[in-house]
Amino acid sequence: MMFMAVLLLVVVAASAVAVPPITVTVPATGKAYFASPNYPQNYPKGVLVEYNVTGPVDFSLLMSQFDVVEFRLCDIHCGYGCFADYVNFTETVNRRDISLTGDQGMPSGMCGTINSPLRLASRTNSVIVRFVTGTRGPSYQGFNISATALARVETRIKVPVTGKVFITSPNFPVANYFVNRDTIYFVEGPAGVRLEFNTVAFDVQALDIFGGLHDFVTIAESSVGSSSMELIGGRPFYDTQGPNQLRSRHNYVIIVFKSDDFLTLRGFNISAESVH
């Protein structure tokens, strides 16, 4: 059955007629939109459309659902999975093609009707979106998707004498954080102050049923009389329990956010302020 499904996918892809690639330029502010052919009328059958979506350098991209994405998940012609009409989102990271939807726990091809908001964030400023339709079966309205430039998360944080700064996970609050990534924040306050950290929002993966740690945040500073780092509060933070009234002894702290390759959630927003 698996062999038949793969063979059918190859046949459908091979029979699609490619149209010239469409360039989508995403501005630093505002949004760019791209839609299926003929939208809001039904899309044609037997086509392959490639959208080259590019944003400013040093930005990543957020793909958002603008109108309902309406593809037939499966009918008599498509076998199992998204083999008839589907969209996929890929980018190149370290010379390897990565699926954006794979990071969200979804298959590499998207189809069917998506009623919940679509939020797909890229690591880079360039994404290729491919829309493939089979030669058989019904046609539907298609899609209209927006792309927004996301500023990369700032990892060198300066805490002022008065007021607060906010430290967030990548993509917060518009999309889930990336899987399988370490993000290190270097947090520094004025000389002679201590730093206090409080949770504004916190939602990362919880412990598994065996007590195993997956995604977590650590906040550390140098130990007294030593070059080694010591966890402030004595433990990592995970699940929905972030730091509150957590104070350092010094004005320099390193925060590490680690995520594994399994589940990705909304992430966190932590405030930092100087205290005397």
All structural domains of the chain: 2-151 (2.60.120.290), 156-275 (2.60.120.290)
What mean pLDDT value characterizes the chain?
81
- Short-list 187, 217, 186, 218, CA closest to 204: 217
Q: Residue 64's pLDDT is what?
A: 64
Instruction: Give 274 or 13, the one with higher predicted confidence.
Output: 274
Give the three-state DSSP class for 2.
Answer: helix
Q: Can you tell me the distance from the alpha carbon of 170 to that of 256, in angstroms, rounded to the nearest whole number?
A: 12
- Distance from C-alpha of 250 to C-alpha of 195, rounded to nearest angstrom: 7
Tell me the whole-structure pTM to 2 decimals.
0.66
Query: Is residue 106 scored above 50 in pLDDT?
Result: no
C-alpha 272/C-alpha 164 separation (Å) is 6
Cβ atoms of residues 132 and 15 within 8 Å: no
Q: With CA atoms as reference, report the closest residue to 140 among 40, 17, 12.
A: 40
- Please say if the pLDDT value at position 14 is more than 70: no
pLDDT at 262: 78
SS3 13: helix
Tens of pLDDT, residue by residue over 148-167, are 888 777 789 999 999 999 99
CA distance 27 to 1: 45
CA distances 174 to 149, 171, 228, Å, are: 11, 6, 36
DSSP code at position 198? E
CA distance 105 to 237: 23
Amino acid 259 reads S
CB 249 within 8 A of CB 196: no
Average of pLDDT values for 3-22? 57
User: In whole angstroms, what is the distance from residue 156 CA to residue 140 CA?
Assistant: 47
Cα 108 off chain centre by: 14
Sheet with 31-35, edge to edge strand ranges: 31-35, 144-151, 59-65, 119-121
Are 202 and 195 spatial neighbours (Cβ–Cβ below 8 Å)?
no
The CA angle 238-267-176, to the nearest 5 degrees, is 135
Q: Residue 139: what residue type?
A: S
Range of lowest pLDDT (218-227, 229-238, 248-257): 218-227
Residue found by looking up tokens 């603008």 in the block: 66
